[in-house]
Structure 1
Amino acid sequence: MTFTLACGDVMPGCAARFEHTDKQALLGQVAAHAAQAHGLVDLTPEVVAQVESRILQSA
């Protein structure tokens, strides 16, 4: 199973894409990117929910 996320689905204009077989590892990559590229250090529950709703899962 693979989990994917296009950052632009959450942050319009961002071309970063993430893919991992482990959802928690993917979220870690996304959090690091959010801090570095977008200055989002403290992710609110609303932001986390928005990110999680945009993660695609494929076999």
Structure 2
Amino acid sequence: MGNLGMSELVIILLIVIVIFGASRLPQLGKGLGEGIRNFKGSLKSGGEEDTEKESEQKTST
């Protein structure tokens, strides 16, 4: 059920083009790419920020 074939992807792409229009697709792709980049960056730096917050909390109490 989770496998998408080429025909399903084409149908999804056509539906997206009809809903958003061809002129807005580059903007949507750019926004999606930036969101993924930010998410990956937050995952990489998330552990570092957590340890900084914990050390700040320990020193403030």
Query: Scaled by the length of structure 1, what TM-score is found?
Result: 0.30
Larger radius of gyration, structure 1 or 2? Answer: 2
Name the TM-score, length of structure 2 as normaliser. 0.29
Using CA pairs under 8 Å that are at least 6 residues apart, name the structure with larger relative contact order, 1 or 2: 1
Identify the structure with the greater strand proportion. Answer: 1
Identify the structure with the greater helix proportion.
Answer: 2
